[in-house]
Amino acid sequence: MSKLGKVGPYTLLERLGRGGMGEVYLAGSRRGERVALKVLHELTQDDSSRIRLEREVRALRRVESPYVAKVLDADLGCARPYLVMEHIEGVTLLDRVRQDGPLDMAQLVDMAQGIAAALAIIHAAGVVHRDLKPANIIMGAEGPVLIDFGIAQVHDATRLTMTGTFLGTPGYTAPEIFADEQVDSPADIHAWAATVAFAATGRPAFGRGTAEAQMYAVLNGQADLKGVPVALLPLVRAALNREPGKRPTAALLADRLSRLARVTGGLGAGSAPKGLLAAPVAEETRGRAADDAKSPRKTGEEGRSPRPRVGGDTGPRARSGADTGPRTGDSGPRPRTGGEPGSRSRSGG
């Protein structure tokens, strides 16, 4: 019997990380599969919020993408609410940059495109990640993977508490959250831009100061983008727009970066392919918003082969009481970063 005990039907094997919303453990299922289990703290008691959380979990369990850690199971109504995710081997983007320095151009574009694709697919499923940051991206053997959804974050969970404790990550939090404005998928886009800037430069875009200093920098648009490759600057700047409605969608970012990835082999870090990013992103965003209003969003296309899984079973994915409805996916081949399969495992914090 594990010294850490059990949560639901899962045996806790090792604590992998801890954050403001809960603790993440390596756990074993009844069938012997290894998973990442997040024990959730501070779950809202409001019925409407709990219903929203349950709806988001159901939506996430239908998402199929090589860029997103699969949500396998959840129980938000038990004494110790928990979320079960696929366990991914690899180092986090945060640790990768701290150990080896900023990503090179090809790696940077691949990471930026992969995470934009991940956001596009979860946004199409009606889910907002809410906690995108370098520590929540695994640089796996098959490319970047988005982990550790902020699924249990209530709308005001990122505010300063009465004791001054910050429950989010200020340098990767969108200004509308600090300003107590409506929060939706554009908040993830702002976090994407801050994450790409960190990966490109090795520095947090909004500084390393106190939470209050970082909040001030975010609210006032004081991002340090020195060192971000010219080819990526138009997208990063557009994604950091103070007005959420003027930020590009994740789908638009993924499309632009897919095209950029095809030519990055011949690019220098300070060069941009002529004409590739020339169209004003803000104008294209407005046109896209009008198109989206006329037709339902698509959640993906058929044709993507499943990403090989590391650290789990070698057959079909484990389903722990999973839904049987249709699943959401993205399509098309993507460049690979050539991650580090021998690196230590992280599944969120």
Predicted confidence (pLDDT) per residue in 146-179, tens digit? 998 766 444 333 334 333 444 568 999 999 989 8
Confidence band of 338 (pLDDT split at 50, 70, 90): very low
Distances (CA, A) of 152 to 38, 169, 177: 10, 15, 16
In the predicted structure, residue 301 carries a pLDDT above the cut 50: no
Helices H / strands E in the chain, number of each: 9, 11
Rounded to whole angstroms, how far apart are CA atoms 153 and 168?
Answer: 9
Confidence band of 283 (pLDDT split at 50, 70, 90): very low
Largest CA distance in the chain: 61
- What pLDDT is recorded for position 121? 94
Active site residues: 131
The CA-to-CA distance between both ends of the chain, in Å, stands at 24
Q: List the domains of the chain with CATH numbers.
A: 7-329 (1.10.510.10)
HSE-CB at 8 with a 13 A cutoff on CA atoms is 22
Q: Which two tokens stand for residue 245?
A: 């409605």
Rounded to whole angstroms, how far apart are CA atoms 276 and 257?
Answer: 10
- What pLDDT is recorded for position 9? 94
